[in-house]
Amino acid sequence: MIVHDMPDEVYHSRPELSSTGARRILESPAKFKWEQDHPSRPTPAMILGTATHTKVLGVGSPVVTYPEEHLTPSGNVSTKAVTVAWEAEQMAAGRVLLSRRDAAKVDAMAEAVLAHLEARQFLEAVEGREVSVFADVEGVPTRARFDIYNGRKAGDLKTALDSSPGGFNRSVAHRGYHIQERFYRDAYQAETGGELEEFKFIVVENTAPYLVGVYDLDFMWAELGMKKVKEARDLWRRCTETGTWPGYGTATLTPPTWAVYENEDAEEFTF
C-alpha cells in the first residue's frame, strides 16, 4: 500500500517495523521493545529536523513560533503556567514549536538547501513528499516514509553537524543510514515489484553557513545495509514469535583500532 498525505502522528502510531525500529532492534531488542511501549518526547535536534523538513518539503507537521506573550523580556520561552498550558495544547494538535532563534535557523537551512543547485534540481525532479509505503517483507510487516518520492526515484533530507563527504560518511556508519536506505528499498520492492532507480541523501548543516551536500551510497554500503536489514528482520521475527526481547549478552571485548594506535603513540613518547 502506498499512501500520500498521511499525517505524521498517524504514520508513527502504526505497529509495522520501521527503519528506525530496525536500527534500534539491532542495538538491543530490549531497547526496541521499551521504546515501543514507552514513547518519548522528541529531542530538540528532532524538533529542529522536523521543522526543517516542513520548511523545505512544504508538507508535514505545522510549525509555530512562540508568540511574544509566551517569551521573557530576554527572548527565552517563559516557564509560566499559562505558557506550559499553551505548549501542551499546541503539541496535542500536532504542531512543532520553535523559539525565535530556531525559527530563523530553520529558515536559513531551508534557503541553503534550495540555493544548492543539485539539491534543488533533485527536489524539482522528484515531486512526491512524505510518501508512506506499507508492505510485507519476508513475513515482517514493514513501513517506510519517503521524504522525496516519485515512484522511480527517492531521497531523504537530513540535518547534521557536518555535511561534508567525510562527515556524512561517518554519520552513515554511526546512525545506520545505509540500513535505512536498504530498508526503504526493500519496502518499495515488496510493494511494487520493482527496484528504485536512485536514492539520494540531501544533507544540510544545522550551523552557519548551513552548507549542503547531496550524496548516494556505493555498493559496499549497499551490501552492509542488506546484511543488517536481514539481521533486523530475523531478530524481529524471533522476538515476536518467542515473546522474548533480550538485552545485552556476554562477550570478550577487544580494543578498537584507535585505542591500540593511541597506546602505541603514547609509548613512543615515553622517556
* 3-class SS of residue 99: coil
Q: Where in the chain is the domain with CATH 3.90.320.10?
A: 2-40+117-264
- What are the pLDDT digits (tens) for 220-234? 999 999 999 999 999
Q: What integer pLDDT is reported at residue 9 of this predicted model? A: 83
- How far from 63 is each of 95, 107, 222, CA to CA, in Å? 6, 12, 35
Residue 243: which residues within 8 A CB-CB, separation 6 or more? Answer: none
Q: Which listed CATH number (3.40.430.10, 1.10.150.20, 3.30.70.20, 3.90.320.10) goes with 2-40+117-264?
A: 3.90.320.10
Q: At what angle do helices 19-27 and 29-37 cross, to 10 degrees?
A: 130
> 246: closest CA among 231, 258, 235?
235
> Given a cut of 80, is residue 149 above it in pLDDT?
yes
Show the CA angle centred on residue 164, arms to residues 159 and 170, nearest 5°.
80
Global pTM reads 0.87
- What are the pLDDT digits (tens) for 59-104? 888 888 888 888 888 878 888 888 889 888 888 888 889 888 899 9
Q: What integer pLDDT is reported at residue 263 of this predicted model? A: 63
Strand order in the sheet with 198-205: 2-3, 128-137, 140-149, 153-160, 198-205, 212-215
Query: Across the strands, what pairs with 140?
Result: 137
Query: Across the strands, what pairs with 154?
Result: 149, 199
> Given a cut of 60, is residue 270 above it in pLDDT?
no
| Separation of alpha carbons 50 and 58, rounded Å | 11
